[in-house]
Amino acid sequence: MSDPFKQAAGIRKVLTADETAEGRLDAWLTAQVGEDFSRSRIKALIKEGLVSLRGEQVTDPQRKVRVGDSFEITLPEPEDPTPKGEDIPLDILYEDDDLIVISKPAGLVVHPGSGNWTGTLVNALIHHCGDTLSGIGGVRRPGIVHRLDKDTTGVMVVAKNDVAHRHLSLQFADHGRTMPLERAYRAVVWGRPRSLSGTIDAPLGRATGDRTRRAVKRPDSQDADAAITHYEVIERFQENPDATALASLVECHLETGRTHQIRVHMAHIGHPLVGDTVYGAGFRTKANLLPEEIRKIVNDFGRQALHAFMLQFEHPRTGELMHFEVPLPADMVKLVAALRQ
């Protein structure tokens, strides 16, 4: 294709497939449009009806591209990849010239990305710290050495210079095997694990056909990453004589740090997190067993019930052991109180 882009009015583009065109529409369009738009973004634009073929909308990202097909796509203006500082309040637990420790609230995305270019923790940090953040993490992730999911609350540490970034990154990569880093979470899960404490050793990888979800994999799978979670049941709610329970408060310590690790592992053993619509949607009917007032509190809990309550690490400059704990946030306190009734 000598000139794949023919500009239409505004930000519309017309792309015609030549004899080398093949594969899925979303993949082909992504290759033609260029690096400003990820495949997931192009897929979303297709589903939104912003791609047409001979005047008819094409909404199936998996449609096969054929020679001679001429697609018209309407593209939004690409976002500026450089995050800007935004005056977003931060709950700062500790700060010095090398690092800043914060308590992240629910709903706050850690760094800019597809669908979340503004309003992130990085935007808040740039406003608060100015130009002092470490650049090793890249333009969109300055200072970021670890992450929490958007709707997970709790303690996070951010590097303010490159020396701190390297040292903290080594500790997170070590996962506490030879260095003092330790992370602990509190979660409310459906049911009661048969064993009140245990270890979940189950490799994780991307779920088939979904790049955002994670799934337990066979150890010999090509994309399997080792994942180990240690858990302990702290409290049982609505416990029955047969040792089952409606829900439990568990404490989890990570030996590895995979995406969605606790959420996937607890679901894997049959006890997904309350409020987790990705890995525990099938358990929402359990709330129907509760009295109406309590059922409403549980059903209105709008996120996975997961809180990173403890973080420990070695200070990258002084070598001091830094230990931080934050109590359960108000929404989880309310949830636990309701389940206790």
Residues identified as active-site: 149
CA 256, CA 229: separation in Å to the nearest integer? 7
CA angle 7-16-73, nearest 5°?
55
Paired tokens of 1: 């294709």
Strands 182-190 and 306-314 come out as: antiparallel
Residues 6+ apart with CB under 8 A from 332: 153, 186, 188, 305, 307
Would you call 2 exposed, middle or buried from its count of C-beta atoms within 10 A (0-12, 13-18, 19+)? Answer: exposed
**One-letter amino acid of 96:** D
CA 113, CA 164: separation in Å to the nearest integer? 24
User: Which one-letter DSSP state was computed for residue 136?
Assistant: T
Query: Which residues are 254's β-sheet partners?
Result: 229
Helix (H, G, I), strand (E, B) or coil at 154: strand
Query: Which residues are 119's β-sheet partners?
Result: none
Backbone angles phi and psi of 280, in degrees to 5: -135, 25
CA atoms within 13 A on the CB side of 30: 15
Paired tokens of 263: 């959420």
Q: Considering just the CA atoms, what is the radius of gyration of the chain in Å?
A: 23
- Residue of 183, 150, 186 lying closest to 328 (CA atoms): 186
Whether the Cβ atoms of residue 273 and residue 263 lie closer than 8 Å to each other = yes
